[in-house]
């Protein structure tokens, strides 16, 4: 089965116009701050990781018609059900029907600002040298994925040039599957616009790509 990300919209036609909103216009409904708070609290709990959360959002069948925080809410519901933190009936009627499940961590209110300010760096040590160097010509792998991936569809099977090496980072594809951090070298790769979109591409586009996304180009 091929994994389908509804969020992979780069380079697609008929996705609709991007309508900028006023700076600082963060919420449109009173429930949205609560969804943000729940998502942050559960993300900090350690029951799932950031890449699992992204995967849950991007594969929602109703993704195209949902608003930003509706996507967050539906993904949170999906993850809670998948990890047996609550049943669908408990979510529907708001009544606890099974003993609460212990989580690895609890984000106390007093720690929220500090935790958000500190962030969560994804750089990790690795025990082998990078396969590629700046200036190398590479091709992105084109095979369909049956799991979460951060390689955008428009860049698959395309030839580009290594611009820089960012170091080794948590490999999102495996992390999203619950297979550990599995660090891989991360590269900045530049593509000519015409190589991505032969009929209308101009200029150049740079993406960040983990080593398993790349192979040497002839």
User: Beta-carbon neighbour count of residue 5 at 10 Å?
Assistant: 18
Go through the domains of the chain in sequence order and give each one's CATH number: 32-118 (no CATH), 137-216 (2.30.30.50)
Contact 39, 48 (CB under 8 A): no
Contact 35, 73 (CB under 8 A): yes
Q: Structure tokens of 84?
A: 């047996």
pLDDT in tens, 105-153: 999 999 999 999 998 899 999 999 999 999 999 999 997 777 889 999 9
Q: Spell out the residues 6+ positions from residue 70 whose beta carbon is closer than 8 angstroms to its own.
A: none
pTM for this model (two decimals): 0.88
| Residue 166 parent element (H or E) | strand 159-169
DSSP 109: G
pLDDT in tens, 81-106: 999 999 999 999 999 999 999 999 99
Euclidean distance between CA atoms 208 and 218, whole angstroms: 21
Band (pLDDT 50/70/90 cuts) for residue 4 is confident
Give the mean pLDDT of 161-172.
98
pLDDT in tens, 39-85: 999 999 999 999 999 999 999 989 989 999 999 999 999 999 999 99
Q: Of all residues in the chain, what percent are helix, strand and coil, respectively (each to 5)?
A: 30, 15, 50
User: Beta-carbon neighbour count of residue 47 at 10 Å?
Assistant: 19
- The radius of gyration of the chain from alpha carbons, rounded to an integer in Å, stands at 20
Give the mean pLDDT of 161-167.
98
The answer to whether residue 1 scores a pLDDT higher than 60 is no
Instruction: Please state the three-class secondary structure of 169-195 as a single string.
Output: ECCHHHHCCCCCCCCEEEEEEEEEHHH
Q: Which residue has the tokens 């609460």?
A: 100
* Burial class (CB within 10 angstroms; exposed 0-12, middle 13-18, buried 19+) of 80: buried
């Amino acid at each position: 089965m091929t994994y389908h990300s509804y969020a992979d919209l780069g380079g697609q036609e008929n996705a609709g116009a991007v309508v900028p909103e006023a700076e600082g216009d963060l919420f449109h409904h009173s429930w949205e701050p609560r969804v943000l708070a729940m998502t942050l609290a559960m993300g900090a709990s350690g029951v799932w990781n950031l890449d699992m959360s992204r995967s849950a959002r991007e594969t929602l069948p109703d993704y195209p018609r949902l608003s930003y925080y509706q996507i967050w809410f539906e993904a949170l519901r999906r993850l809670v059900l998948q990890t047996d933190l609550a049943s669908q009936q408990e979510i529907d009627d708001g009544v606890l029907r099974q003993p609460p499940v212990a989580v690895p961590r609890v984000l106390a209110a007093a720690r929220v600002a500090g935790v958000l300010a500190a962030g969560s760096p994804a750089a990790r040590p690795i025990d082998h040298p990078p396969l590629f160097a700046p200036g190398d010509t590479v091709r992105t792998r084109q095979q369909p994925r049956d799991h979460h991936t951060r390689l955008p569809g428009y860049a698959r099977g395309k030839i580009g040039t290594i611009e820089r090496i960012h170091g080794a980072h948590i490999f999102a594809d495996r992390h999203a599957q619950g297979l550990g951090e599995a660090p891989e070298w991360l590269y900045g790769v530049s593509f000519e616009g015409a190589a991505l979109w032969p009929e209308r591409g101009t200029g150049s586009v740079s993406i960040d790509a983990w080593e398993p996304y790349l192979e040497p180009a002839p």
